[in-house]
Amino acid sequence: MSQKIFISGCGMISSIGNNVAESLDALLKLEHGIRPVEILETKHKGKIPVGEVRSSNEALIEQLGLQWKAGHSRTTLLGTIAAREALQNSQVDLKDGLRTGLISATTVGGIDQSEDFYKEFLKDPTKGRLRHISKHDCGDSTENIAEDLGIYHFVSTISTACSSSANSIMMGARMIKHNLLDRVLVGGTDSLTRYTLNGFNALKILDSEHCKSFDQNRNGLNLGEGAAFILLESEKSIRQRKYKPICELTGYGNSNDAYHQTASSPEGKGALSAMKIALKKSQLNNNDIDYVNAHGTATFINDLSEGNALMTLFNDRIPEIGSTKAFTGHTLAAAGSIEAVLSILSLKHGFIPPNLNFSQVMEEVNILPVKKLLTNIKIKHILSNSFGFGGNCSSLIISKL
């Protein structure tokens, strides 16, 4: 079970771009995707700032060349775009006899469709289009993507709140190590919905302005939407098709904070434990990590908790730290895989995007995130964090070949 896990392709869509190339361009030009709600039909339209993919469902369907009557949820549409790109990018032939799986992650599933259904159903229980509600569950988007791509060997879905897609990456890697799959497309997809927008609003953790991760005056998160997938491949698969992968997934760790249902422990015990497990798995030392793509949601408690965990772990030698949430918004289940793709770009092109909007170090913990775009730097190992409700904490380590 000691074999390597290669990353041979990636795809993503979010408020900073419809594909990987556009996303890279946006990061290098420091163009974030946070604006007041524009596409989502909600009372908060034009008010709450979010990271929205600025295409209507109709436009996404046209982009994909699908039939409108299939009635897909936005989560399916975003996921299919990113998954198709990842497969294309890795130049893999699914009919070469090797075993390919798909593990996706989502928190909202097709709830955007359920919202439309409920509006009618609540007025009259014989009303509401059944096609809408049949898309409600989380497995729906995954199965749609699997069938679109023709992946049948193993198909599953994970939902662990904001750490969901980091966990699908982890599960995929383990299935390769257990020789249950030769390669697996892993990632996650979540669309913006009235459900999540109003939910986070009710929890009073949405900033009414552009979010400020790790800043003393941070005031909450900006929600986002999007999807990202990466193709993980075994040594056997890479050898058989003589392909040069982009990089390697060397470590992963999963832990539970076991502190409170929604809030993280102030000292960040779950976060610390997940990072430690990932480091151990990768057989690297703290000193080997060049950059941490932090979870950094900009809520009061996450940044305090994560900051403390980072200080405890790295002690006197702190690597570059930054959150990319101010670029994309917090894309919930997709965040882990979107940030994995952004980390892959950092490795490949030797840059670290800045932690936007930072000006003042937190009183409680001395974390100084990356202030300006760093280019032409050598990066070998990146640690990427994703933490969520229910105490779910996950960390990934992505390394140069």
- Residues annotated as catalytic are 162, 295, 330
Q: Among residues 260, 280, 371, 372, which is the contact residue for other proteins, using CB under 8 A?
A: 260
- Residue number with CB closer to other proteins (13 or 146): 146
Cα torsion 353, 358, 360, 362: sign: negative
Mark residues 177-196: x for contact with other proteins by CB under 8 A, - for none: -x-x-------------xx-
Q: Of 101-140, which residues contact other proteins (CB under 8 A)? A: 106-107, 109, 111, 114-115, 117-119, 121-122, 125-126, 128, 130, 133-134, 136-140
Whole-number minimum distance, CB 13 to other proteins, in Å?
A: 22
Which residues, 205 to 224, sit near other proteins by CB under 8 A? none
Stretch that binds other proteins, among 32-40, 152-160, 181-189, 351-359 (CB under 8 A): 152-160
- Within residues 338-357, the interface with other proteins by CB under 8 A covers none
* Options 69, 95, 97, 204; binder of other proteins; rule CB under 8 A: 204
Contact indicator for 222, 326 with CB cutoff of 8 Å: yes
Q: Find the shortest distance in angstroms from Cβ 277 to other proteins.
A: 9
Selected binder of other proteins within 256, 276, 374, 380 (CB under 8 A):
256
Q: Site for other proteins (CB under 8 A): which residue of 63, 84, 148, 201?
A: 201
Amino acid at 387: F
Among 203, 368, 377, 401, binds other proteins (CB under 8 A): 203
User: Is residue 42 close enough to count as binding other proteins by CB under 8 A?
Assistant: yes
How long, in residues, is the chain? 401
Size of residue set near other proteins by CB under 8 A: 73
| Shortest distance, position 133 Cβ to other proteins, whole Å | 5
Q: From the list 43, 280, 349, 371, which residue makes contact with other proteins (rule: CB under 8 A)?
A: 43
- Of 42 and 240, which has the nearer Cβ to other proteins? 42
74 lies in the site for other proteins, by CB under 8 A: no
Near other proteins by CB under 8 A: residue from 159, 250, 282, 384:
159
Name the residue nearer to other proteins (CB basis): 118 or 243: 118
Using CB under 8 A as the binding rule, whether residue 1 contacts other proteins is answered as yes
Strand partners, 230: 10, 186
- Least distance to other proteins, CB of residue 64, Å: 21
User: What is the smallest separation between the CB atom of 158 and other proteins, expressed in angstroms?
Assistant: 6
Residue closer to other proteins by CB (options 303, 320) is: 303
Q: Is 174 in the site for other proteins (CB under 8 A)?
A: yes
CA 279, 346, 157, 143 torsion: positive or negative?
Answer: negative
Q: Smallest distance from the beta carbon of 331 to other proteins, in angstroms?
A: 15
Give yes or no for residue 257 binding other proteins (CB under 8 A). yes
The CB-of-9 to other proteins minimum distance in angstroms stands at 22
Structure token pair of residue 397: 């380590």
In the complex, least distance from residue 368 CB atom to other proteins, rounded to whole angstroms? 27
- 262 makes contact with other proteins (CB under 8 A): yes
Residues 372-401 that bind other proteins (CB under 8 A): 388-392
Burial tier of 268 (Cβ tally within 10 Å: 0-12, 13-18, 19+): buried
* Positions in 276-335 near other proteins (CB under 8 A): none
Closest CA to 193 of 130, 282, 113, 272: 113
SS (H, E, C) the chain: CCCCCEEEEEEEEECCECCHHHHHHHHHCCCCCEEECCCCCCCCCCCCEEECCCCCHHHHHHHHCCCHHHCCCHHHHHHHHHHHHHHHHCCCCCCCCCCEEEEEECCCCCHHHHHHHHHHHHHCCCCCCHHHHCCCCCHHHHHHHHHHHCCCCEEEEECECECHHHHHHHHHHHHHHCCCCCEEEEEEEECCCHHHHHHHHHCCCECCCCCCCCECCCCCECEECEEEEEEEECHHHHHHCCCCCCEEEEEEEEEECCCCCCCCCCCCHHHHHHHHHHHHHHCCCHHHCCEEECCCCCCHHHHHHHHHHHHHHHCCCCCEEECCHHHHCECHHHHHHHHHHHHHHHHHHCCECCCCCCCCECCCCCCCCCCCCECCCCCCEEEEEEECHHHEEEEEEEECC
267 contributes a contact to other proteins by CB under 8 A: no
Q: Which amino acid is at 261?
A: Q
